[in-house]
Amino acid sequence: MKELRLPIYLDNHSTTQVDSQVVDAMLPYFSEQYGNAASKQHEFGWRAEAAVEAARKTIARLIGAEKNEIVFTSGATESINLALKGVAEAYASKGNHIITAATEHKAVLDTCKRLEKYGFQISILPVDRYGLVSVVDVENAITEKTTLVSIMTANNEIGTIAPIREIGEMCRVRNIIFHTDATQAVGKIPVDVIAMNIDLLSFSSHKMYGPKGIGALFVRSTTPKLRVMPQIDGGGHESGLRSGTLNVPAIVGFGEAAKLAHAAMEEESVQIKHLRDRLENGILAQVPDSFVNGHPTSRLPNNSSITFRFAEADRMMMEMKDVAVSSGSACSSDEPEPSHVLRAIGLNNEDAKSSIRFGVGRFTTEQEIDYVIQRVRETVQSVRDRKVHVQLTH
């Protein structure tokens, strides 16, 4: 058996290891093919441009788009800002109402808060205990001033997969633009912008074994062409939607990551779900007063958010330094706040602060999973025992 190496990485929602094949594809574009893709007068620029366009085509194919519908950005956060602010500005004469959900990523919620300061009306819809937003709730929230609906494909904390196809279809019938943050979904589950009636889709390379600092926004180009106001002014790169010199090595890496994901997704999802289920079943069997958050079936295969009652997540992670996971809490610099996602699905503050997100990945092994089950069992018991001792002494 292969020797177990510590620490073990189970934080693949946060970022993924760059696949070695991706690194190999990128390397020549740092030192050999180092041209600027916007340099149209010489071969260095032509080669860089050809590499960018090849990657654009591969990335588009992963989500069922055309290559001219892919706009490169610095990551999903920028893509989300461009989508929401760009559409809000472009269609302001039609209306000023945007609909989203309580469990969205902060990149969506904070962008909506910004738009609210400029006079836009924001409706933030509730979700059920599994984190699902209701298609009926979306439809009922629509007014004559609604221009945009933004609902994430799969949640970044609890993994719940939304009814995107149905929401997109309803928006299409109502002639309302539909954006989805698919950052956690692309490369892990099938995503098809045509079949799912998506107008705008944000995603990122580093969640699918590609490099950090590169992402994309899908912008539908047909029936009719979507208008998006650029948020960065300059040289008019990316069809005028995102000025700035293209990060050629990262784009090449993004393309290679998309190619690998497209080829391996079905088989990889089965293996990752097997490991995720082994982790969950092992923990739930050995750790009393623990439960899984999110939808039991409509959930990302790599995701496991588990609440450990009477054991604060931050204390667990301090003791369990040989396992890389993340807390269900989003902490500010001053004081920890319970996760807005876990609060939205009905957890109280104490349970929300006692939740840990485990993210299984391409390189996770059964040996690692078995080790983590044991470490979690020991750590939860230790934290709970210490808490009881402190309570008794006080």
Contact of 125 with 141, CB cutoff 8 Å: yes
Q: How wide is the angle at C-alpha 303 spanned by C-alphas 301 and 306, nearest 5°?
A: 135
**Cα separation, 79 vs 82, whole angstroms:** 5
pTM of the model: 0.96
Catalytic residues: 331
Kindly state the helix (H) or strand (E) to which residue 204 belongs, with its residue range: strand 200-204
Residues 356-376: pLDDT tens digits? Answer: 999 999 999 999 999 999 999
Domains and CATH numbers, the chain: 8-15+265-393 (3.90.1150.10), 20-260 (3.40.640.10)
Q: Residue 12 corresponds to which tokens in the numbers above?
A: 């693949």
- Over residues 176-186, the mean pLDDT reads 98
Share of the chain above pLDDT 70, in %: 96
Mean pLDDT, residues 310-322: 97
* Structure-token pair, residue 30: 């740092």
- Residue 177 confidence (pLDDT): 98
Rounded mean pLDDT, 63-73: 98
56-60 own/partner pairs: CB under 8 Å, 24+ apart: 56/251, 56/255, 58/255, 58/256, 58/258, 58/259, 58/262, 59/216, 59/254, 59/255, 59/258, 60/218
pLDDT for 332 equals 41
The whole-chain average pLDDT of the chain stands at: 95
Q: What is the mean pLDDT of residues 179-195?
A: 98
pLDDT confidence of residue 336: 67
**What pLDDT is attached to residue 84?**
98
Reported as a pLDDT band with limits 50, 70 and 90, residue 3 is: confident
For the ranges 23-27, 164-168, 262-266, 331-335, which has the lowest average pLDDT?
331-335
Separation in Å, CA 300 to CA 81, 187, 196, 260, 369: 24, 11, 17, 18, 18
pLDDT at 1: 61
pLDDT of the residue at 330? 44
Integer Cα distance of 110 and 26 in angstroms: 33
223: which 2 tokens?
A: 């029936």
pLDDT in tens, 122-156: 999 999 999 999 999 999 999 999 999 999 999 99
Residue 355: C-alpha distances to residues 218, 299, 316, 383 (Å) = 33, 17, 10, 13
